[in-house]
Amino acid sequence: MQRYFVEADNWQGDKVFIQGEDVHHIGRVMRMLPNDEIICNHPSGNAARCQIVSVEKEAVHCRVVEWLEENVELPIEITLVQSLGKGDKLETVVQKGTELGASRFIPYQAERSVVKWDKKKADKKISRLEKIAKEASEQCHRNKVPEIEALHGLDKLLQTSKQYTWKLFAHEDEAKRDEYKSLSNLVGRMEPGESLLAVIGPEGGFSASEVLKLSEAGFHSVRLGPRILRMETAPLYLLASISYHLEELR
C-alpha cells in the first residue's frame, strides 16, 4: 500500500488531508479514486490505514480506517554526520542511510572537504536532501522521516555532541591497524532508547587536529572492517552493522 507522510496540522480527529506534491502523486501518478486506501504517517511515528474520501486539485481528503501497530525504527537513534564530498555523494548517503534506519543527518564541513557550501548553496542542498529523505522513508516504510540539520563546522559539532549517549568517528588509520573489535565493543554496550552521533570523514580523511579534538570530546575511533571504504560506503557499513547487531543478532 502506498505511504505518505502527513504533517501534524493536517490531522483532525479521524480526518486527514494531504497537500502539496503528494496530491499530484495520488491523483495523477497513482490515479487513485475515492474508497482507495493508503497509509498515512503522523510525525509522531504512528501510522494509519486511511480511505480516500475525495481527490481535489489542491488536496486529498481521507478518513482513518485503523491505526497500525508497526515499528521499523532502529532501537537506537543514530545521527549521521557526513563530511561534504564531491558529486551526489551526500544524496546517496541520505537515500540509502534512510533505508538503513538513520534518524538524522548533519552535513559536515570537514577541514579537508574539497567542496564548500555558502549560505545560498546550503539552503538549496538541504531542501533537496529533505525531499530525498521523505521519498526514501515512504518507499522503505519508515515510521519517521529523518531530519536534515544545518551544515556544521567542528565547533558546532563538538557542541551538538554533548546531547548524545555515544559518539564515534570512522578513522581510516584504524582499518590499517590490527586493533579491531573497536566498533563491536561499542555497539555491544548500546541499549534501546540511547543515541549515537557518528562522524564520517571526507575523501582525504580527518586532519590531525580534527582527530585530536574529536578524541578529547569523547568520540571513539572505530574501524569499519579491514578494507578502505569510500566516504559514501562507510556510513552504509556502519548503519547495516548496527542494524544487524541490534535487530538481527541480539
User: What is the binding site for its own copies (CB under 8 A)?
Assistant: 72, 96, 99-101, 139-142, 180-181, 183-184, 223, 225-230, 233, 236-237, 240-241, 243-245, 247-249
Q: Which is nearer to its own copies, 73 or 147 (CB)?
A: 73
Least Å distance between CB 110 and its own copies? 19
Q: C-alpha grid cell for residue 191? A: 541499549
Task: Please name which of 46, 60, 239 lies closest in space to residue 143, comparing C-alpha atoms.
Answer: 46
- State which amino acid sits at residue 66: E
Q: Which is nearer to its own copies, 158 or 240 (CB)?
A: 240
Q: Which is nearer to its own copies, 63 or 176 (CB)?
A: 176
Place of cell 490515479: 31
- State which amino acid sits at residue 99: E
The H or E element containing residue 53 is strand 47-55
Least Å distance between CB 27 and its own copies? 24
Least Å distance between CB 54 and its own copies? 29
| Contact in structure between 214 and 153 (CB atoms under 8 Å) | no
Q: Which is nearer to its own copies, 123 or 247 (CB)?
A: 247
Strands (E), 111-238: 147-148, 166-170, 195-200, 220-222
In whole angstroms, give the CA distance from residue 229 to residue 238. 11
Least Å distance between CB 142 and its own copies? 7
In whole angstroms, give the CA distance from residue 222 to residue 175. 8
Least Å distance between CB 82 and its own copies? 16
Q: Which is nearer to its own copies, 141 or 156 (CB)?
A: 141
In whole angstroms, give the CA distance from residue 85 to residue 92. 11
| Contact in structure between 222 and 190 (CB atoms under 8 Å) | no
In whole angstroms, give the CA distance from residue 4 to residue 138. 6
Q: Which is nearer to its own copies, 117 or 237 (CB)?
A: 237
Least Å distance between CB 43 and its own copies? 18
